Structures are given as C-alpha cells and as structure tokens.
Amino acid sequence: MTTKTNFQTIVWGISHLPELLAQAGATKVLLVVDASFPFLSIEKQVQEMPVPFVVFDQFSPNPLYEDVCKGVDCFCQHKCDAIVAVGGGSSIDVAKCIKLYCRLDPSVNYLQQECVDSGIPLIAIPTTAGTGSESTRFAVIYFEGKKQSVNHLSIIPTFALMEPEVLYTLPRYQKASTALDALCQGIESWWSVNSTAESQQLSKKAVGVLWKNIRQYVDGTGNSVDESQLAASVMKAANLAGQAINLTQTTAPHAFSYKITSLFKVPHGHAVAVCLPKIWQYMIAHPELCIDPRGKEYLMNVFYDIAQAMGCSTPQQAVEEFEAMMMSLAMPNPVSKNRADDIQLLSQSVNPVRLKNNPVQLSQEAIGSLYELIVS
C-alpha cells in the first residue's frame, strides 16, 4: 500500500526497500542505525539492500550536534548519495540533520548557517509507533547541553517505509511510552492554535485508533492475528499523529516534558503523558485565558470533540479516563520528588514565548502550580 501526501510517499512493507532505492537513484547509501538494529526482524532485509552502503551508528539516544557532524563527515568521505535511517526518533533525527547539513560549509557551525534543500533522498524506516518523525519536518539534537529544534521542510523523509512487524519485539515499557507520545501528539495537535481542518482530520483518526487500542497493543491479546492487526493500526495512527504535528507543532505538554526527561531521565512519551492531563484540566477550568483567535467557545467544542474521540461525554471525563488509562498501563507518575528547587528548575525551563501554540495562556505562576501537581 502506498500513500502520497503533500510532502512525501508512505509505503507499507519492508520488501519495497529495493524499489524505493531505485526510485531514489541511490548508488551509495549512508545507513543510519541505532543500537537496536542487530536485534530487529527487518535487519536482514536492510543488510541485503541491493546498493552498497556504509553504516553510521556513532550517536547517543539524545543525539549531540557533534554526532551529527561525524555523520556528515562519514556521508561526504564515502561519497554517499542517499540516506536510509532505521530506528526510533534518534536515528531518523540524526539522518535528517545529515541530509540538511551535508552540502553546507563544514568550517562554520551548521546551526548558524542558512539551510537549503540538499536534494539528498532520505528513506526513513521507523522501529517504534510513536514519534512520527518519519513524517515530520522536525529533528531534535543537543548543542552545548541545550535542546535545538531543527525545523526545515526539506528534511521530511522522501519515503516513510513502514513495517509493523518491527513492533512485535519491542519491550513493553517502550511500547507504552512511544504509543503515549503518539496519543499526546494527536491530542495536542488537535487543540493547537495552528490546527486546520486538514490537521484535525489527521488528529481525529489518530486519537480514535490510539485510544481504542493502546491497552491491547501494550499488553497483547494472546492472539497473533489480532496482534499483527493491532501493530499495523497503531503504527498507522502514530504516523497520522506525526503528520498532524508536522502541520501544527506540539503544545504545552511537550514543552513541559523536556525538562522532566532531562532532569529525572523519564522517557519522552511517558513524560509528556504525565503532563497532559494536568494541563488539560487547567485549560478546561480557564476558558477566559483562551488565546486561539477562533475564540473560547470554539476551543471548548474542540475539547468536547477530543473527549468524544476518547469515548467520553465531557472533557472532564476524558481527563479522568486519561489518568485511569495511565494507571491501568502501570505508567504512574514516575516523579514524586516535589522539592522546591526542582519546581523552580522545571518552571524556569518553560519559556512562555514557546507556549504560543497552546490554546490557553499559561503564566509563569500557572506553570509553577502545574509542575507542583505534575511532580507531586
């Protein structure tokens, strides 16, 4: 099955890799993989690709700018003309940055140069159902300890090659954390001030499927036919949520989560999902602080639409069901330190200017109070 969006071609089935390489005109590939690669069910098909390739795996789970530079050097030294990325968000993000920087001046910091489309074809093969990175124009890397959001239309992978079989061997916790990321991305995109009719359609499909299936996807059904259908549905829904945030970007729960991840080492999806219900609750209680130009009534209707996609009759019920779902997945709040200095550190990490996509205004005081609820 093949779908063409405005930005890329999405193809289902690892067996299509050779024809995608041919379509890309690849003669030498940089293969970007993470440490999970040797254990993947698709490892053999990737290793047998009919084009010479060089492996690049010298990067950390939260990739550094220096890692990307090494990847650019590797790409140029070996005269590669295409990139295949296999992995979770990190591999795909590193590959996107290599694509973006490989034709720039290596003697000047890439982050300070004006970027243009390098024209290098990129095939992204996601190995989790979560970030949707295979369909977005964003990549996250770290420079001198600070998170850098790389954002360029040209880094949307040329092809997203989807193979749900890779999900069968994911550890339970990773399944849960990544699926929660996808669910939160679908919800946040839906209420984002940047949402459009098109993005909301994508969010609606993604949230409905993820909400309905997340428990069975994480814990299994004991029936292999059901499980292969579940894997395919969840992978597709996570990709739709990725397509939605590609149009709208994420909002406050993502902005709040980054410091929880770096301070307490809580994986990304889990950290976002811990923040989302508390922030949603606050937004329901404060429609007067709506900053979406479409108005507070419009926003409340959006909250009702999201609740409905979650099988709930009110947004309040949806918040409660979301928290109950986290408990039933055994994904309770992993942070219960609530020390005054932690709250201060967390609050300082969220720049209110960065919350401009969030439909309800959050003052510095509100951010502090919310963090107190989140890490209590």
Task: Write out the residues near Fe ion by the rule CB under 5 A.
Answer: 181
Looking at the Cβ atoms of 181 and 342, the one nearer to Fe ion is: 181
Taking the complex as a whole, how short is the minimal distance between the CB of residue 93 and Fe ion, in angstroms? 11
Nearer to Fe ion, 20 or 238 (CB): 238
Q: Is 207 helix (H, G, I), strand (E, B) or coil?
A: helix
Which residues on adjacent β-strands are paired with residue 3? 10
Of 67 and 181, which has the nearer Cβ to Fe ion?
181
User: 75 with 83: CB under 8 angstroms?
Assistant: yes
> Rounded distance, CA 289 to CA 312, Å?
24
Nearer of residues 42 and 241 to Fe ion, judged by Cβ: 241
Nearest residue to Fe ion on Cβ basis: 181
CB of 217 to Fe ion, least distance (A): 17
- How far apart are alpha carbons 172 and 166 in whole angstroms? 13
Tokens, residue 311 = 């099988």
Place of tokens 């050097």: 73
Q: Which is nearer to Fe ion, 118 or 185 (CB)?
A: 185
- Quick one: 34 or 181, whose CB is closer to Fe ion? 181
DSSP annotation string for 220-277:
--S-HHHHHHHHHHHHHHHHHHHHHHHHH---HHHHHHHHHHHHH---HHHHHHHHHH
Which strands form 82-87's sheet, in the order they lie side by side? 2-4, 9-12, 159-162, 122-126, 82-87, 29-33, 53-56
Least separation in angstroms between residue 177's CB and Fe ion is 10
Name the token pair of 330: 């055994």
